[in-house]
Protein backbone atom coordinates (compact mmCIF):
# COMPACT_ATOMS: atom_id res chain seq x y z
CA UNK A 1 0.00 0.00 0.00
CA UNK A 2 1.33 3.43 -0.93
CA UNK A 3 1.09 6.07 1.77
CA UNK A 4 -0.58 9.18 0.37
CA UNK A 5 0.45 11.77 2.93
CA UNK A 6 4.24 11.98 2.73
CA UNK A 7 6.51 15.00 2.32
CA UNK A 8 9.72 14.42 0.38
CA UNK A 9 12.35 17.09 -0.16
CA UNK A 10 15.96 17.28 -1.27
CA UNK A 11 18.41 20.13 -1.01
CA UNK A 12 22.09 20.44 -1.87
CA UNK A 13 24.12 22.18 0.83
CA UNK A 14 27.57 23.67 0.32
CA UNK A 15 29.01 22.10 3.47
CA UNK A 16 30.55 18.74 4.42
CA UNK A 17 28.51 15.85 5.84
CA UNK A 18 29.81 16.32 9.39
CA UNK A 19 28.84 19.99 9.44
CA UNK A 20 25.31 19.36 8.16
CA UNK A 21 24.88 16.46 10.61
CA UNK A 22 25.91 18.77 13.48
CA UNK A 23 23.30 21.34 12.43
CA UNK A 24 20.67 18.57 12.60
CA UNK A 25 21.73 17.14 15.96
CA UNK A 26 23.50 19.71 18.16
CA UNK A 27 20.84 21.73 20.05
CA UNK A 28 22.88 24.95 19.88
CA UNK A 29 23.27 24.59 16.12
CA UNK A 30 19.62 23.53 15.60
CA UNK A 31 18.32 26.77 17.11
CA UNK A 32 20.51 28.80 14.74
CA UNK A 33 18.15 27.81 11.90
CA UNK A 34 14.99 26.38 13.51
CA UNK A 35 13.15 27.04 16.72
CA UNK A 36 13.84 28.69 20.03
CA UNK A 37 14.94 25.72 22.12
CA UNK A 38 16.07 22.18 21.28
CA UNK A 39 17.12 19.02 23.09
CA UNK A 40 18.46 15.81 21.57
CA UNK A 41 19.55 12.45 22.97
CA UNK A 42 21.33 10.85 20.03
CA UNK A 43 20.58 7.16 20.46
CA UNK A 44 17.64 4.91 19.54
CA UNK A 45 14.84 5.76 21.97
CA UNK A 46 16.47 9.10 22.85
CA UNK A 47 14.50 12.33 23.00
CA UNK A 48 14.01 14.78 20.14
CA UNK A 49 12.47 18.04 21.40
CA UNK A 50 12.02 21.35 19.61
CA UNK A 51 10.21 24.45 20.79
CA UNK A 52 9.50 26.65 17.81
CA UNK A 53 7.48 29.51 16.47
CA UNK A 54 3.95 29.09 15.17
CA UNK A 55 2.33 32.39 14.30
CA UNK A 56 2.28 34.56 17.42
CA UNK A 57 3.01 31.77 19.90
CA UNK A 58 5.58 29.07 20.67
CA UNK A 59 4.76 25.46 19.88
CA UNK A 60 6.69 22.35 20.92
CA UNK A 61 7.38 19.18 18.98
CA UNK A 62 8.50 15.93 20.54
CA UNK A 63 9.59 12.52 19.38
CA UNK A 64 12.17 9.79 19.80
CA UNK A 65 15.17 8.83 17.70
CA UNK A 66 14.84 5.50 15.91
CA UNK A 67 18.13 5.59 14.00
CA UNK A 68 21.28 7.63 14.45
CA UNK A 69 24.07 6.87 11.99
CA UNK A 70 26.62 9.67 12.51
CA UNK A 71 27.06 11.95 9.50
CA UNK A 72 24.81 9.76 7.30
CA UNK A 73 21.28 9.18 8.63
CA UNK A 74 18.72 10.23 11.22
CA UNK A 75 15.24 8.85 11.77
CA UNK A 76 12.95 10.05 14.53
CA UNK A 77 9.29 10.09 15.43
CA UNK A 78 7.70 13.52 15.50
CA UNK A 79 4.53 15.30 16.57
CA UNK A 80 3.19 18.42 18.23
CA UNK A 81 2.50 18.63 21.96
CA UNK A 82 -1.23 19.20 22.37
CA UNK A 83 -1.75 18.38 18.69
CA UNK A 84 -4.80 16.28 17.88
CA UNK A 85 -3.96 15.54 14.23
CA UNK A 86 -0.18 15.05 14.61
CA UNK A 87 0.48 14.23 18.28
CA UNK A 88 3.99 13.47 19.58
CA UNK A 89 5.47 10.37 18.01
CA UNK A 90 2.75 9.97 15.38
CA UNK A 91 4.81 10.72 12.27
CA UNK A 92 8.32 9.77 11.13
CA UNK A 93 11.11 11.99 9.82
CA UNK A 94 13.96 10.31 7.95
CA UNK A 95 16.99 12.31 6.84
CA UNK A 96 19.76 10.88 4.71
CA UNK A 97 22.97 12.84 4.08
CA UNK A 98 24.86 11.99 0.89
CA UNK A 99 28.32 13.25 -0.06
CA UNK A 100 27.77 14.90 -3.45
CA UNK A 101 29.31 17.66 -5.56
CA UNK A 102 31.76 18.82 -2.86
CA UNK A 103 28.88 19.24 -0.42
CA UNK A 104 25.95 17.37 1.09
CA UNK A 105 22.72 16.28 -0.49
CA UNK A 106 20.02 16.22 2.18
CA UNK A 107 17.19 13.81 1.37
CA UNK A 108 14.28 14.18 3.81
CA UNK A 109 11.08 12.12 4.05
CA UNK A 110 8.30 12.95 6.53
CA UNK A 111 5.73 10.15 6.61
CA UNK A 112 2.72 9.25 8.73
CA UNK A 113 0.90 12.54 8.25
CA UNK A 114 -2.86 12.08 8.64
CA UNK A 115 -4.35 14.12 5.79
CA UNK A 116 -3.72 16.42 2.83
CA UNK A 117 -3.95 19.60 4.92
CA UNK A 118 -1.28 18.44 7.37
CA UNK A 119 0.86 17.20 4.48
CA UNK A 120 0.66 20.63 2.79
CA UNK A 121 1.40 22.46 6.05
CA UNK A 122 4.43 20.31 6.83
CA UNK A 123 5.64 20.56 3.22
CA UNK A 124 5.59 24.35 3.53
CA UNK A 125 7.41 24.16 6.85
CA UNK A 126 10.11 21.85 5.46
CA UNK A 127 10.65 24.11 2.43
CA UNK A 128 11.18 27.05 4.79
CA UNK A 129 13.43 25.24 7.24
CA UNK A 130 15.59 23.31 4.78
CA UNK A 131 16.47 26.61 3.09
CA UNK A 132 17.43 27.99 6.52
CA UNK A 133 19.47 24.84 7.26
CA UNK A 134 21.35 25.28 3.97
CA UNK A 135 22.23 28.86 4.92
CA UNK A 136 23.33 28.01 8.46
CA UNK A 137 25.39 24.94 7.52
CA UNK A 138 27.13 26.88 4.74
CA UNK A 139 28.15 29.60 7.23
CA UNK A 140 25.51 32.17 6.31
CA UNK A 141 23.20 33.76 8.88
CA UNK A 142 19.60 32.69 8.13
CA UNK A 143 18.30 35.53 10.33
CA UNK A 144 15.72 35.22 13.10
CA UNK A 145 13.27 32.34 12.92
CA UNK A 146 9.77 33.70 12.50
CA UNK A 147 8.45 30.35 11.30
CA UNK A 148 7.02 29.69 7.87
CA UNK A 149 4.55 32.29 6.65
CA UNK A 150 0.99 31.00 7.05
CA UNK A 151 -2.00 32.54 5.36
CA UNK A 152 -5.12 32.80 7.48
Q: What is the CATH number of the domain that holds 54?
A: 3.30.530.20
- 90 contacts: CB under 8 Å, gap ≥ 6: 77, 78, 79, 112, 114
- State how far the Cα of 85 lies from the Cα of 91, in Å rounded to an integer: 10
pTM for the full predicted model: 0.90
Tell me, yes or no, whether 108 lies in a domain.
yes
Q: Is 53's pLDDT higher than 70?
A: no
Tell me, yes or no, whether 144 lies in a domain.
no
Tell me, yes or no, whether 149 lies in a domain.
no
Tell me, yes or no, whether 142 lies in a domain.
no
The closest of 52, 55, 57 to 35, measured between CA atoms, is 52
Tell me, yes or no, whether 123 lies in a domain.
yes
Tell me, yes or no, whether 30 lies in a domain.
yes
Q: For residue 60, what are the domain limits?
A: 7-137
At residue 54, φ and ψ (nearest 5 deg) are -135, 95
- What percent of the chain is modeled with pLDDT above 70? 91
Q: What is the pLDDT of residue 54?
A: 59
- 151 contacts: CB under 8 Å, gap ≥ 6: none
Total structural domains within the chain: 1
Amino acid sequence: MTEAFVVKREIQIAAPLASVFAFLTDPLKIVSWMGLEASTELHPGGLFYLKGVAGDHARAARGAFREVVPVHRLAYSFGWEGGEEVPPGSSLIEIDLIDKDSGTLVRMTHSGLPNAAQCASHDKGWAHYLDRLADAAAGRDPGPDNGPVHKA
